[in-house]
Structure 1
Amino acid sequence: MHDKKIRLGILISGRGSNMQALVQACKDQDFPAKVSCVLTNNSCAAGLRFAENEKIPTIVVADKPLDICRIHAILVKYRVDLVCLAGFMRILKADFLEKWKNRVINIHPSLLPAFKGLNAQEQALKAGVNMTGCTVHYVTPEIDSGSTILQYSVPVFPDDDLHTLSERILFVEHKCYVEAIKLIAKVKLCN
C-alpha cells in the first residue's frame, strides 16, 4: 500500500494559498496524497495560474448559479477521493454534500465552534480572546459545524490588527491542512 495515494480535488475562489501548500506537500514522495484537479468558480482566481504551472488539470465552473452537477461530474471524472475546500467562497448544497458525505473538508480561520462564518479573525479581535487559530473539519450543510479533524492554535496579541492576526493564522493553516490530509489518508488507506 506504500504507492497508494488518495486523490484530492481542490476547490478555490482566490489566491489558493492553502491549495499551494497542499500541492507542495504532495511533491514529497512519502506524502499519502496527490492532487487530481483544481476547480474554481472564479476565472480570475490567482491560484489557477499556480495550478496550471504545476501541470494540474484546472477547471472553471459556472458561478451564478454555481454548477454543482458539473462539479460533481468533474470530481468523479478525476476519481477524487477527498474534496478540499481552500478558500472556496461558495456554499455547497446539501444534496452534493450527501453524495460526498465525509469526503469534503474545509479549513476555517478559528478554533471552531468559536467564530463560525465569515470574518472569523475580525470576530476574534472584537471578542477580545487571547487565543484563536484554525480548524480543518468535515463539511456539512450547517456552516462550519462538521466534525473537527485537526486544530492549530495561535496567540492573539494586544497589538494585533486584522492583518497581523490573519497572517499568523494563515501560516498555521498551511501546516494544519497538510497534517489533516495525512490523518485522513492514514485512515482511508488502512481500510
Structure 2
Amino acid sequence: MRILDAAIASVREKGYAATRVDEVAAAAGVTKGGFFHHFASKEEMAVAAAERWSETTGKLFRSAPYHLPDDPLERVLAYIDFRREIMTGKTNEFTCYAGTLAQEAHLTASNLRDAARASIFEHAETLIDDIAAAKAKHCPNANWTAESLALHTQAVLQGAFIVAKADGGPERARESVDHLKRYIELLFNQTN
C-alpha cells in the first residue's frame, strides 16, 4: 500500500516524531482525507507500517543468497555478510524502520513499541534454526542459546544503524558488522 510505503520512507528518513500525516499522504498520492479513510491516526498507520516492513523485508531475506551454504554456520556467517553488503548509500536507505520506531516510541506509545518489537523479534526468529544447527554441529556443549545469539545479532545491527545515523554514513556501521562476524566466528571456535 502506497501510504504505508510512504510512512516507512518518512520514518526511516526523518524519524517518527518528524513524520507528518499530510506529507505521508502527499508522498502516497492521496489527500489527507484519503489518509484518514484508511487510518484513524498516525499511530495506527505506524503500527500497520511495521507489519508492512516485516512483510517486505521478510521477502527480501527469504530470497537472499545466505541460505545457500550447506553448513549452518556458513549460513549464519553469510547472513552477517549479507547484512553488511546491504549497508550502502544514505542511512535512510539501509536502516531499520522498526528499530527507529522503537528508539523513539518505546516509552511513550506501547502499541508502537510492541509493533517494533514484533518486527525485530520475528526477524531474529528466522535465524534461530540455523544458529541451533550450527551450535549442534560445531559447539554442542556451549552454554548459550540460539535465541540469545539471534537477538544479540539484531542488537548489534540496530546499534550499527544508530552509529551510521550519528556518523552520517555506513562505514563505521559496516565495521560493527565486521566485529559481529569475528565475534560469532570466535564464539563457535572457542566453545568447541
TM-score (norm 1): 0.26
Normalising by structure 2, report the TM-score. Answer: 0.25
Q: Which has the higher helix share?
A: 2
Q: Which structure carries more strand by proportion?
A: 1
Larger Rg computed on CA atoms: 2
